[in-house]
Amino acid sequence: MNKAHAYARHQDQNALIERHAQLVKRIGLHLMARLPSSVQLDDLIQAGMIGLLEAARNYDGGKGASFETYAGIRIRGSMIDEIRRGDWVPRSVHRNTRRISDAIGVVEQQCGRDAKDVEIAQTMGVSLDEYHSMLNEAACGRVVGIEDLGVSEDALTDASDSEDDNKTFTGFARERFQQALAEGITHLPEREALVLSLYYDEEMNLKEIGQILNVSESRISQIHSQAMHRLRARMKDWY
């Protein structure tokens, strides 16, 4: 690469970063809606800017995805990595997260239908209020989202990145996982599927979704958390 070409590429990267700096803040604010107050927006933005820089450096427009889509994945991934490096979550929350998914799996296997809140609580041997409290802790204590189902930021990139048979297989496996995940979401209870759609597709925060469904922000947090646990239970074989 000659100096002129390198300089032009550098200028292009700077232009991409300047145009999409607000995307970092937007994604940070979106994540903050489900995080404890101890998490600072500035820390997320700092991590997100690193993701944006990496996206600008590595983006290949020939792969089909727009830069905003590609950068959004990288930015969010960098923020989540930063959150997990400073994991403040008590072991009890991680333990209850596994218990919830296991209980949902047991109920749905026995009943052959969507598990209800009260049935999950009974299977876990806790009251309904305790169960809802666990859902809130799981939602607020960590990022309970699509990425926790095993979807990495690379899972949304083009499988044509593969350069050998092993990478080709990995890309194929990720594509199949995404297909199974999409199908799993369509089979969620209607309200849970709607909350996920509004949160991930429409990028609305929990308060805004609560206003649409006429329930509290806390209840939306519970519904979102339960949807994630239900998907984990139903896609257990993929792990």
Q: Which CATH number do you get for residue 71? A: 1.10.1740.10
What CATH number is associated with residue 227?
Answer: 1.20.140
pLDDT tens readout for residues 21-64: 888 998 888 877 666 666 778 888 998 999 888 888 888 777 66
The answer on 30 and 141 residing in a single domain is no
Q: Strands, DSSP E only, in 65-223?
A: none
Single residue among 32, 55, 88 that ends a domain in this structure: 88
Tell whether 122 and 231 lie within a shared domain: yes
pLDDT on residue 104: 95
Which amino acid, 161? D
Average pLDDT, the chain: 77
The answer to whether residues 141 and 93 touch, using CB atoms and an 8 Å cutoff, is: yes
Residues 36 and 141 sit within 8 Å (Cβ to Cβ): yes
Helix or strand holding residue 9 (H, E): helix 3-19
End-of-domain residue from the set 50, 72, 88: 88
Q: Do 62 and 79 fall into the same domain?
A: yes
Sorting pLDDT into bands at 50, 70 and 90, what band is 201?
confident
Q: pLDDT band for position 140 (50/70/90)?
A: low
Do residue 81 and residue 175 come from a single domain?
Answer: no
Structure tokens at 195: 């909350």
Write down which residue in 59, 88, 117 finishes a domain: 88
Specify the number of domains making up the chain: 2
Residues 7 and 68 in one domain: yes
Residue 202: pLDDT over 60? yes
Whole-number pLDDT of residue 57 = 84
pLDDT tens-digit map of 214-226: 999 889 989 998 9
- The reply to whether 20 and 98 lie within a common domain is no
Q: Is the pLDDT of residue 98 over 60?
A: yes
Model confidence pLDDT, tens digit, residues 63-72: 667 888 888 8
Together in a domain, 137 and 42: no
- In this structure, the answer to whether residues 106 and 211 fall within a common structural domain is yes
Domain membership of residue 25 as a residue range = 1-88
Give the least confident one: 59-73, 149-163, 183-197, 213-227.
Answer: 149-163
For 72-118, what is the HEC assignment?
A: HHHHHHHHHHHHHHCCCCCHHHHHHHHHHHHHHHHHHHHHCCCCCHH
